[in-house]
Amino acid sequence: MKIRRIVATAVAAAVTTPVVLLSAAPAFADTKPAAQTQDQKTDIDALRRAVTKAQAAYDASVVAYAKAEEAVDALGKSDNPLVVAAADAKKASADAAAAKVAADDKLAAAKKAQSELPADATQEQKDAAQTAVNEAQAAADAAKTTAETKAAAATQAQTALDDARVAAVREVEKARQAKEKAAKELDAAKKALADALEEEPGEECEVDKNLVTSVTGPKKITAGASGVFTFRVTNKGKVELGEVGGYAEAFNMSDDLDKYLHLTWSSATSPKWQAVDEEEGFSSLSSLKPGKSFDFKLKVAVDAKAPAGDGVVVAGGAYINEDGSCGWAEEGSYAEFGIVKASKPGKPGTGSTGGNGNTSQQGGQSNTPVTNGTSGSTGGSLAKTGAGSSTMPIALAGGAAVVLGAGAMVVVRRRKAGADA
C-alpha cells in the first residue's frame, strides 16, 4: 500500500500551495519501493503455490462432477448393461408367467376331462385320464417354479438398476458439494494472493525504459475556453505490452494551483470525455505492439475567471499484462501553456488560444515512428521514479506520484527563473 500512501500525500499537497508542492517534490524523487525481504518473497511464492494447488483441485472437482453426471445419464440409456439386464429379466419373467397360465389351463382341462368320464368308462379310459392329469399337474408345477424364479430374477435386476441410479445421484450431489468447496477454496487462495500483492505493489511492477510518453498541445488557452493535448504512450521494446494506461494532472502556476483548470480525457476506445479518476487513471483497454503508440486526448478547460498566467499538463504511463506482470514509464511528460484573458469588445485580441473546446477527441494506435526521450511540448522531461503494483489501478495511481512530482519540478524551475530575473 506504499504507493497509495504516496499518492494520497501528493494529491493533498497538490491542492494546497506551491510551497507544499515544492516540499513534496524531493519526497517523490527520493522515494523508492522498499526492498522485498526474503520472507515476503517466500510468503508470496507460498500463496502462488496455494493458488496453483487450489486451481488443480477445482479442475479435478469439475471433471469428477462431469463424470458423475455422465454416470447418471448412462443409467438412463437403453444399452446400459444394467438396463439391458433388467429389461431381459422382466421379459423372461413375463414369459414364464404366461407359460404358467398355459400350464394351469391344461391342468384344469385334464381334470375336467377326467371328471366328465361316463359311468361306463373302461379302466383303460380312466387310466389315460389320470395320466393326463398327472402330466398336466407336473407341467403346471414346473411352470410355477420357473415363473417364481424368473420373477425373483427380474426383481433382483430391477433392484440392481435402481440401486445404481440412487448411488449415481448421490455421487453427483457429493461431487457438486466437492466442486463448490473447491471453488470457495480457490477464490480464497486467489484473494489471499491478491491481498498480498496489493500490500506489496513494488514486488510486481518495475520501471520499464521501453515505455515512453510525451505530451503535446496548444501554447496558449484563453480563459473561458479549452485546449486539447495529446498524451502519447509508446512501446519502444520488442515485446507486446498488455493494457496500457496513464494518469494526468493540470494546474496553473498561481497559489490556487488547479482551481481554474478542469481536466478530462478520451481516446479511440473510450470516446466520451470523462474526468481523470485519481485511483484508476485511464486505460487504452487494449494491448500495445512493439514500435506502436497509443494516444489519449487530455482536454483542459480554463475557467473564465482564471487570471492570466502559466499552466502545465503533466502525465505518466503504465501497463499491466495478462500474466500479472506490469511496469510504468521511467519518466513522465509535461507540456506548458499560457493562460490569456479573453479580448474585451472593441479592443484588440490578446492572441491565439491555440486550443478549442470543441475539438473532437481522437486517439488509439499510432503508426508514428518511435522517438527518443519523453519530452513534452517544452522539450523537458520528468524526474525518474521507481514504483510498481500488481493491478492497473495501483500502477496508474503510482503514476500520480510521477506527474505530481513533475509538477513540482516545473514549479521549482518557474520560481527559480523568477528569482534570477
The CATH code of the domain that includes 315 is 2.60.40.10
Cell of residue 329, nine digits: 514509464
Same domain? 272 vs 362? yes
Q: For residue 53, which of 196, 178, 179, 185 has the smallest C-alpha distance? A: 185
Residues 331 and 306: their CA atoms lie apart, in Å, by: 30
Residues 348 and 331: their CA atoms lie apart, in Å, by: 41
Percent of the chain scoring above 90 in pLDDT: 53
Q: For residue 130, which of 119, 140, 145, 115 has the smallest C-alpha distance? A: 115
Residues 399 and 213: their CA atoms lie apart, in Å, by: 12
pLDDT tens per residue, range 125-175: 999 999 999 999 999 999 999 999 999 999 999 999 999 999 999 999 999
Whether residue 298 lies inside any domain: the answer is yes
Whether residue 48 lies inside any domain: the answer is no
Whether residue 50 lies inside any domain: the answer is no
Last residue of one domain, picked from the residues 197, 218, 250? 197
Long-range contact list for 97-102, CB < 8 A, 24+ apart? 97/147, 97/150, 97/151, 99/143, 99/146, 99/147, 100/140, 100/143, 100/144, 100/146, 100/147, 102/143
Q: Is residue 338's pLDDT more than 80?
A: yes
Same domain? 215 vs 190? no
* For residues 82-104, average pLDDT: 95
Whether residue 82 lies inside any domain: the answer is yes
Whether residue 42 lies inside any domain: the answer is no
Number of independent structural domains in the chain: 2
Same domain? 19 vs 74? no
Residues 267 and 295: their CA atoms lie apart, in Å, by: 7
Same domain? 181 vs 296? no
pLDDT tens per residue, range 244-278: 999 999 887 765 556 789 999 999 999 999 998 87
Q: DSSP code of 203?
A: G
To which H or E segment does residue 62 belong?
A: helix 38-74
Last residue of one domain, picked from the residues 144, 178, 197? 197
Under 8 Å between Cβ of 266 and 274: yes
Last residue of one domain, picked from the residues 197, 232, 252? 197
What pLDDT score was predicted for residue 17?
32
Whether residue 51 lies inside any domain: the answer is no
What pLDDT score was predicted for residue 37?
54
What pLDDT score was predicted for residue 336?
92
Can you give the residue range of the structural domain that contains 97? 56-197
Same domain? 15 vs 123? no
Whether residue 391 lies inside any domain: the answer is yes
pTM: 0.46
